[in-house]
Amino acid sequence: MIPKRIALFTVVAALGGSLTAHAELPIDQITVARMPVPHPYRLYFTDVNIPSLLDGKMTIIDGRNLKVEGMVATGTFGQTAVSPDRSEIYAVTTYYSKGNRGERSEEVMVYDATTLKLKAEIPYPARHAQALPYRGTMRTSGDGRFLFIQNATPATSIGIVDLKNQKLVSDIATPGCYNVYPAQTANRVSTLCGDGTMLTIALDDEGKPTGKQKSAKFFDPDDDALFVTAAQEGDRYHFVSFKGNAISVDLSGETAQAGKPWPLVSAKDAKGGWRPGGYQPVALHRDSGTLYVGMHPKGYEGSHKNASHEIWVYDFKAQRLVARNKVVHSTGLVVSQGAAPRLFAFDTDKAQIAAYEGGTKLKLAGIRGGFGFTPTLLEAQ
């Protein structure tokens, strides 16, 4: 009888001999792909990643098929922006010397939007707002020269980074005001204030402040506050309020000039409690003048972040409701520009994006989830 140890050795030896008879597999060559050619439906989806705050990220998505094109790290409470020509991606982020504690330091990371390689790391004071990413927590100037960063320590200020020379050039105190709204045609940046006004800061060619001007009061923050996310059209920003009013503000001059507010809801709909809701409730297709607003029923004080059940479509010039669309629940909207627009509605809870063919009667073109954990900011190419 053959001992088991000898039998096992014989089998292993036989297998080893048979394996060496085959050719070795070729060595894998690791390469880094480039981003596909840019297109109007590219999306930039920023996730602060609340379950693991050290691991925030921006996912870049093809809105035609909702497939991932790329990803960049944004770190802890990373706030993001994309350059006007879409050639660079910016993220201001926090680091702690011991991971989740210890000495705090910050930097602005500059990524190449074609290769997604890190191009630069610009030192930044440890004071950027550690908050959910919104479109106004970090923006570029209209010409792309400067980066405006919302600070909160909790005292509020706006940090101005010169992207050409890669350095912080100004830190401007803005007590009682929050979120940045750059002008498109002038070297100015404005911020929305808790007393119902806007503060506009004029800058010189080096990014230094040359003057501050407060606007007249144009909304009541106690009775009907504004969502801080607005739809931009050149120098004009279009806001919606918690109770369902719209108002536009022109930032082309030294002082912000607000237009006349108009209602998004009829008296009948107001009785049903229909109100805007979510993190990013308004989007504008500029060429057609089509305004999209995410709405939820049975609204109440404090329901302003509730997911939208419907998307209401307005003729912006006529200030008239033209369609109501029942949609999958969403917490934010963005629309592609140019011909054949698509409206994209995201759901923070499911990290999901639903794509709709644009126009007034929205048609679902695709839906996909799994884009992170708690994304709150979506931008389109």
CATH number of this structure's domain 31-380: 2.130.10.10
CA–CA dist 54, 130 (Å, integer): 12
Instruction: Supply the pLDDT for residue 240.
Output: 98
Q: What is the pLDDT of residues 78-92, one digit of tens each?
A: 999 999 999 999 999
Instruction: Supply the pLDDT for residue 20.
Output: 52
The whole-number average pLDDT for the span 212-238 is: 98
* Residue ranges covered by each domain of the chain: 31-380
Compute CA 344 distance to the chain's CA centroid, rounded to the nearest angstrom.
Answer: 13
Hey, what are 82's tokens?
A: 């994309």
Instruction: Supply the pLDDT for residue 33.
Output: 82
Q: What is the DSSP letter of 302?
A: T
Confidence check: pLDDT of 9 > 50: no
The mean pLDDT value of the chain amounts to 94
Report yes or no on whether pTM surpasses 0.85.
yes
Confidence check: pLDDT of 95 > 80: yes
Q: What is the pLDDT of residues 330-375, one digit of tens each?
A: 999 999 999 999 999 999 999 999 999 989 999 999 999 999 999 9
Number of C-beta neighbours around residue 68 at 10 A: 13
Instruction: Supply the pLDDT for residue 10.
Output: 44
CA–CA dist 336, 106 (Å, integer): 32
Lowest-confidence region among 25-39, 80-94, 113-127, 175-189: 25-39
Lowest-confidence region among 12-26, 46-60, 206-220, 345-359: 12-26
Instruction: Supply the pLDDT for residue 11.
Output: 45
Instruction: Supply the pLDDT for residue 13.
Output: 47
